[in-house]
Chains A and B, each alone.
Chain A
Amino acid sequence: MNAPSVDYTAVAPMLAVFVAALVAVLVEAFAPRAQRFIIQVFLATVSIATALIFVVYLATQDTSKTTAGGAVVIDGPALFLQGTILVLALMAVLTMADEASPESSAFTAQASAVPGSVDEARASRLGLVQTEIYPLILFSLVGMLLFPASNDLLTMFIALEVLSLPLYLLCGMARRRRLLSQEASLKYFLLGAFSSAFFLFGAALLYGFAGSVRLSAIAAAIADGGGTTAASAVVGKDGLLLMGIGLLAVGLLFKVGAVPFQSWTPDVYQGAPTPVTGFMAACTKVAAFGALLRIAYVAIPGVRWDWQPVIWVIAALTMLVGSIIAIVQADVKRMLAYSSIAHAGFILVGLLAMDRAGIGAVLFYLAAYGFTTIGAFALVTMVRTSTPDGGVGGEATHLSQWQGLGKRSPWLAAIFTLFLLAFAGIPLTSGFTSKFAVFSAAADQAPWGPGLVVVGVAASAIAVFFYIRVIVLMYFNDSVGDAVTVTRPGALTTLAVGVGVVATIGLGILPSAALGLANSSSVFLP
């Protein structure tokens, strides 16, 4: 019996973040309260940057390999997704760490204090800062890095839990409207626990079918029509396979927020602290689609004729439902949540192509969408209500409060307009390039691809309406007076938004380098 060997270079990005997370727990335990914030932010940014350097190094090595006894695979898509997740997480951490004063922070002073209690008032008066968010973010990040790189269903499940559990907690830490935030946290936890159970049961059924949880073994079992176990009979095992795939898909489609598993998205996105919403919307989506891609392309391509029609319908419904329901939203965060549902549909379109162009398009879409999303949510944190004594209140997320922002704060309005145009997929933004890439891949390769593209273009046209409506509100309506104030962003938020702007324009005007990178990293190691 041999212990599985681990290639530590290949897993170095994950290890760097994991070790930093453990150190961050010790910092919480030992560092004096006044210094925790600065130490935690330093630790988080440095560890993410280190992991990013490791990923770039591994990418230049250009060797795909499996390690840790075949449980982890480091190949082109895994590295591309890990790199994307790390860059987006760095941006998200910057927006979280940027606090002029604890009062204007998005996070509660003490999450354990009951809302409205004496304890809460005391914690707020003392100016406490909840620095546990940084270790939680790092742990979540470890799961996200492992999720698209996992080569068997059990590793994938563990990664899913590691990325989800800290997120459930982070959702409940908003400074204002704390009951709404805690409700979001509880909803996300309960529904997420259900979806994890679905995933696990699906994994169990696939194990029953193939006699292994390894993705390549499942693919091999499908190919020779039975199992690696003795007395394999195709008859009677098809049910196990199809039900297993179905249950697995429920778990993963829940995480990406596809219809009919989308109902948690608006509530959670609205309730969570806005920087966390940005982190969830961008990074979780990248990680979950990475896992979905790997299962679709490595484990179950052999039965694609069975599952493609189902995903076809889900993709069409997701695009339409997300776009149509977003029209009636009156809250910016809810609107962006429904927009993220619609985008999940667009990405599923690329997934259906089942060839290299499809993978490349999905990878590119995820990166482009992530940059724009984090930037957009960072801007949402700046628009605040003003208190009677001229101070800064909570976030003004109601759309009526965004009226006339174009005159009061031209920069913010201009950049938000850019992000909205990118979400809508207007040419010269990253949104257009990525939509074009997934649609062209699907039109060529997916079954009934042209039909799906027609649905997608129709959904995009519907979506343009509500994005443009916000732009009209900002530029062509009168301001609501002094009820709303736009805070000056700190250097860190400016940096994060700047990266978002550069990526959104850059990937729109000169997409060839990034598209080339996405396409060249679109080969899964079987």
Chain B
Amino acid sequence: MEGLETYLIVATVIAAGVLLFAGAMGAARALRPQVCSAEKSLTYESGVDAEGSGWAQSQIRYYLYAFLYLIFAVDAVYLFPWVTVVKDLGWATLGEMGVFLGVIAIGLIHAIRRGVLRWI
């Protein structure tokens, strides 16, 4: 198949998913008895009364984990394809990869200076 027709399969799968969900929920709604009460519309918190608001601020300091993850993951993403061809590409690419790692290392040095790697 060529062109946009290939997306027909994707569209079909999405449509099937929507139908499945709507069918199951619709059938359940049609079959079940409906008795509404205030307790039922509360948020389910494992049987405990829900407290406070649903909005919460997340901790900004987790960005450090994302930061470190990126530094090491991006290394790996490019290093592994590179080692498979480094013999053909020659010595010059070894230097180029050194430059790349150096750039990444600057991020790591910055992180170390900020005390990210200190054991708490």
- Enumerate chain A interface residues (CB-CB to B < 8 A): 1-3, 22, 25-26, 28-30, 112, 208-209, 231, 233, 236-237, 239-240, 243
Contacts of B114 in A (CB 8 A): 29
Question: Which one of B12-20, B32-40, B65-73, B88-96 is at the interface?
Answer: B88-96
Taking a contact as CB atoms closer than 8 A, the residue among B60, B89, B107, B110 that contacts A1 in the complex is B89
10 contacts between A and B (CB under 8 A): A1-B85, A25-B106, A26-B106, A26-B109, A29-B109, A29-B113, A30-B113, A231-B2, A233-B3, A240-B4
CB distance from B106 to the nearest CB of A (A): 5
- Give Cα A110–Cα B75 distance, bound, in whole angstroms: 31
Once the chains are docked, how many angstroms separate the CA of A30 from the CA of B110? 8
Kindly provide the distance from the CB of B120 to the nearest chain A CB, expressed in whole angstroms.
19
Write out, one digit per residue, whether chain B residues 1-31 have a CB within 8 A of any chain A CB (1) or not (0): 0111100000000000000000000000000
Question: CB distance B110 to A26 under 8 Å?
Answer: yes
Q: Is the CB of A236 within 8 A of B103?
A: no
Contact between chains at B4 and A236 (CB < 8 Å): yes
- CB nearest neighbor in B for A243: B4
Residue of B nearest to A19 (CB): B103
Residues of B within 8 Å of A3, CB to CB, are 89-90, 92-93, 96
**B107: which A residues are within 8 A, CB to CB?**
25
Contacts of A112 in B (CB 8 A): 60
Number of interface residues of B (CB under 8 A): 19
**C-alpha gap A237/B6 in the complex (Å):** 11
Question: Could you say which residues of chain B place their CB within 8 Å of the CB of A240?
Answer: 3-4
**Given A22-B103, A29-B110, do A239 and B4 touch, yes or no (CB 8 Å)?**
yes
Q: Is the interface of B mostly helix, strand, loop or mixed?
A: helix
Residues of the A chain whose Cβ atoms lie less than 8 Å from the Cβ of B3:
208-209, 233, 236-237, 239-240
The contact string, 1 if C-beta is below 8 Å from chain A, for chain B 93-118, is 10010000001001101100110000
Q: Which residues of A contact B93 (CB under 8 A)?
A: 3
B101: shortest Cβ distance to chain A, in Å? Answer: 13
Given the complex of chains A and B, what is the CA–CA distance between A112 and B60 in angstroms?
A: 9
Residues in B with CB closer than 8 Å to A25 are 106-107, 110
Name B113's closest neighbour in chain A (CB-CB): A29
CB-CB nearest in chain B for A231: B2
B interface residues with partner A (beta carbon < 8 Å): 2-5, 60, 85, 88-90, 92-93, 96, 103, 106-107, 109-110, 113-114
Residues of A within 8 A of B109 (CB): 26, 29
- The distance in angstroms between the C-alpha atoms of A2 and B90, with both chains bound, is 9
Query: For B3, B89, B96, B113, which residue has the most chain A Cβ atoms within 10 angstroms?
Result: B3
**Within the assembled complex, what's the spacing in Å between the Cα atoms of A243 and B4?**
10
A contact residues around B103 at 8 Å (CB): 22
Extra contacts besides A25-B106, A240-B3 (10): CB < 8 Å = A2-B89, A3-B92, A26-B109, A112-B60, A208-B3, A231-B2, A236-B5, A237-B2, A237-B3, A240-B4
CB-CB nearest in chain B for A135: B110
Q: Report how far A2 CA is from B92 CA in the complex, Å.
A: 11
Chain A residues within an 8 Å CB radius of B106: 22, 25-26
CB distance from B108 to the nearest CB of A (A): 10
Nearest neighbor of B110 in chain A, beta-carbon distance: A29
Q: Which residue of A lies closest to B96 (CB)?
A: A3
Residue of A nearest to B57 (CB): A114
Given contacts A25-B106, A28-B110, contact A236 B92 (CB under 8 A): no
| Complex: chain A residue closest to B103, CB-CB | A22
The smallest C-beta distance from B18 to any residue of chain A, in angstroms, reads 21
Q: How far is it, in angstroms, between the C-alpha of A112 and the C-alpha of B59 when the chains are bound? A: 11
Q: In this complex, what residue of B is CB-closest to A18?
A: B103
CB distance from A248 to the nearest CB of B (A): 16
What CA separation (Å) do A236 and B90 show in the bound complex?
Answer: 43
Complex CA distance for A2 and B93, rounded to whole angstroms: 10
Contacts of A30 in B (CB 8 A): 113
Rounded to whole angstroms, the CA-CA distance of A45 and B37 in the bound complex is: 67
Q: Which residue of A lies closest to B3 (CB)?
A: A236
Residue of A1, A3, A28, A209 most packed against chain B (CB within 10 A): A3
Contacts of B96 in A (CB 8 A): 3
Determine the residue in chain A with the shortest Cβ distance to B60. A112
A2 contact set on B, CB distance < 8 A? 89
Residue among B85, B92, B96, B110 with the highest chain A CB neighbour number at 10 A = B110
CB distance from B118 to the nearest CB of A (A): 14
Chain A residues with CB under 8 Å of B2's CB are 231, 233, 236-237
Determine the residue in chain A with the shortest Cβ distance to B93: A3
Q: Which residue of A lies closest to B114 (CB)?
A: A29
Please give me the residue from chain A that is nearest to B86 by CB atom: A3
CA distance A3 to B103 in the complex (A): 20
CB-CB nearest in chain A for B90 = A3
Docked complex Cα distance between A28 and B3 (Å): 50
A209 and B3 CA atoms in complex are apart in Å by: 7
Complex-state Cα separation, A112 to B96, whole angstroms: 35
CB neighbours of A29 from chain B (8 A): 109-110, 113-114
Contacts of B113 in A (CB 8 A): 29-30
- Distance (Å) between the CB of B70 and the closest chain A CB? 12
Give the nearest-CB partner of B107 in chain A.
A25
Q: Which residues of the partner chain B approach A237 to less than 8 Å between Cβ atoms?
A: 2-3
A-B complex: 8 closest residue pairs judged by Cβ atoms: A29-B113, A236-B3, A239-B4, A29-B110, A1-B88, A3-B89, A237-B3, A236-B2
